[in-house]
Chains A and B, each alone.
Chain A
Amino acid sequence: MLKMHNIRKSYRTDTIETHALRDFSLEVNEGEFVSVTGPSGSGKTTFLNIAGLLETPTGGEYLLDGQEVGNLSDRERSRMRNEKIGFIFQGFNLIPDLNLFDNIDVPLRYRGFNGKERRRRIERALEQVGLSARAKHLPAQLSGGQQQRVAIARALAGEPRFLLADEPTGNLDSLMARQVMELLEFINEWGTTIVMVTHDPDLARRAQRNIQIVDGQVSDLRQSIAQQEIATA
């Protein structure tokens, strides 16, 4: 599904150059649920942005769904994001001016679906996250957990093959976090590949596989989980 080989990403400002990712190699298979952990500033978001075609790497190879994405035009990348990838962000990232229905509608319009098809998908996605009754509400009228469920519904409505989540539970209390996690697990059971960045070791452990990023590189997996368990014990 996702295959990165020797990906590099550096940010250059006037004074310093930051190497956010260095020789970053990773493979994620179709249908997997992978959690990503690591210290702050280690490059987790950078990895997710590159994986989701939000940023381009400085170097290296990236194959998404078997396709080399390095040379795609903006339009092709936008289209790939729209059709194959769903995003869930820590800050929910709903558009405040639009009600829930219209928020979920945004990616579907870019997809070019007709009105009937969009309505069908929006209603089903809202149902899946249990918010059908709130379709005309604005994001500000919802709790954080509800907003995150809307964001998940927005990601689901496009039926993406690949779901990327950057600390989806970071702004939620533990009960809400568990609900969101259950929703993600449910989605994964239906075949969607999920990569989730999290700071929560309990949630990380619930994934099929955990990778840890340290200093812009993937560090050894099993060992790092074992170390964390010792640390938290």
Chain B
Amino acid sequence: MFELKPMLSALWRNKVSAMLIALQIALTLAIVSNAVTIIQERQEKIARPTGIDVENLIAVTFMPVPADYDMAGAVAADLDLMRSMPGVVDASVTNQAPISGSGSASGYFFEPNQEVGDITANYYQTDPHFINTLGLKLTAGRNFREDEMDILGPHQNYNADVAIITQQFADQAFPGESALGKYLYGGRDDHPTQIIGIVERHIGAWPGWSLAGNVVFYPVMAEGNHKRYLVRTEPGQRDEIFKQLEDKLAERDPQRVIHLETTENHMKETYSSDNLMIKVLTLVVSLLTFIVALGIVGLTIFWINQRAKQIGIRRALGASRRNISRYFLLENSIIAITGLVLGGTAAMLINGLIASNFSQPLLSLPMLITCALVLLLVSLLAALVPALRAANISPAMATRSV
């Protein structure tokens, strides 16, 4: 290629500063490619489908004040009240709020009277309205019937007759076959629970859990010391209903403490550390890229000033402006590519370390190449302005300066 060999030997005589900037580019690539990989993984995590109508859901929690509270009666009255409110699509009683970070899980067994769980899932204790309330999609089997609904007193053991599970859990429990009609056991008992329906997906209460998406639903209301409802509103009505709900529930029964939260907020809180990580890493990536660009601008200007006379000589010997700009861009590319090759290797090594020690995602080759190309572009852009300015150095520099 044009001037490559003499350019390399000239670079070799200035190897210290060239190497420094190449190392800076290398370090930047190593850090940026790993950071972008983590950012991308977190973004994908946040963007995973939840299976539910996140935007229009409200979770209500209440704690009654009196000790001898008629929980079953209160729940029935509240649900009637809420379902009759205009703008409310449906409401259900539940033991946990989706994507809230708090909920219950249980081990499941394929045989009766086992000790150690075969498989684990997050579970909801809810009612036949739950599919409509959450906005789930029933893909096989049927919903619960009202007559299958159990009411459980305090300290009473629950043995479910029927359950609905997510497709993901079905695939894990019964790989390669249909889970519909099959039985699961709760452990230490011989009461079979039949799977009567399958919903397409639901991420459950903890999106960060490694088994997130394994979810089981039961038709039961346990009379604990507090209760939860889920309310789904018509699109765009959530905030209005949110305001009304608090008043209406308090009005119906003032003897309790009521707390409301939108599922959207739950989700925001649940993902807050991921969002923070994304913000911090994005800042790191931008800063590093900016600093490396500054370094390249600085070095290119320095070299051009240092070689002003040489540029004049080259111009006198027949170099056009374009030849001069191209010289510096090409030189910059050689340094950048050296740095990127070094950095690419370092990136793989660093990634190997953090992937095995901190369970971070693996850096993919296409990602590394993309980051390298972006950095190459950044370095060319950084060198462009000084290189264009170098072309303005007068050929008279050859005779005028000493």
Contact = CB atoms under 8 A, between A and B. Distances in A.
A26 interface: no
B45 interface: no
B119 interface: no
A95 B318 contact: no
B317 A89 contact: no
Interface stretch (B83-91, B124-132, B320-328): B320-328
Contact of A106 (B314, B321, B400): B314
Interface residues of B, number: 28
Contact of A87 (B3, B317, B322): B317
Contacts of B323: 78, 110
Interface string A54-78: 1100000000000000000011001
A177 B331 CA distance: 38
Given A74-B320, A79-B320, A87 B398 contact: yes
A53 B317 CA distance: 11
Contacts of A110: 314, 317-320, 323
Interface string A12-53: 000000000000000000000000000000000100110011
B395 interface: yes
B63 interface: no
A196 B48 CA distance: 79
B13 interface: yes
B116 interface: no
Given A74-B320, A102-B9, A106-B317, A54 B398 contact: yes
B10 interface: yes
Leading 9 A-B pairs by shortest Cβ distance: A82-B318, A97-B10, A78-B320, A110-B318, A107-B317, A102-B6, A54-B395, A54-B396, A93-B313
A209 interface: no
A82 B317 contact: yes
Instruction: Label chain B's interface by main secondary structure.
Output: helix
Interface of B: 2-3, 5-6, 9-10, 13-14, 309-310, 313-323, 394-396, 398-400, 402
Interface residues of A, number: 33
10 contacts: A49-B400, A79-B318, A81-B318, A82-B317, A87-B316, A95-B310, A97-B14, A99-B9, A102-B5, A105-B6
B317 A54 contact: no
A78 B313 contact: no
A75 to B, nearest CB: 5
Interface string A88-121: 0101010111110010011101110000000000
B316 A54 contact: yes
B17 to A, nearest CB: 13
A79 B317 CA distance: 9
A97 B9 contact: yes
Interface of A: 45, 48-49, 52-55, 74-75, 78-79, 81-83, 87, 89, 91, 93, 95-99, 102, 105-107, 109-111, 154, 158, 166
Given A54-B395, A93-B398, A154 B317 contact: yes
Contacts of A107: 317-318
Give the interface centre of A54, A74, A87 by most chain B CB atoms within 10 Å: A54
A79 B3 CA distance: 17
Nearest to B11: A97
Nearest to A76: B320
A218 to B, nearest CB: 20
A48 B309 CA distance: 18
Contacts of A96: 310
Contacts of B6: 98, 102, 105-106
Nearest to B323: A110
Given A75-B320, A87-B317, A107-B317, A166 B9 contact: no
Contacts of A78: 315, 318-321, 323
A79 B322 CA distance: 12
A154 to B, nearest CB: 7
Contacts of B394: 54-55
B322 A81 contact: no
A109 B2 contact: yes
Contacts of B313: 93, 95
A54 B3 CA distance: 23
A118 to B, nearest CB: 11
Given A96-B310, A98-B10, 5 more contacts: A54-B399, A75-B321, A102-B6, A107-B318, A154-B317
B387 to A, nearest CB: 16
Give the interface centre of A74, A95, A158 by most chain B CB atoms within 10 Å: A95
Contacts of A87: 316-317, 398-399
A138 B3 CA distance: 18
Contacts of B315: 54, 78
Nearest to A151: B313
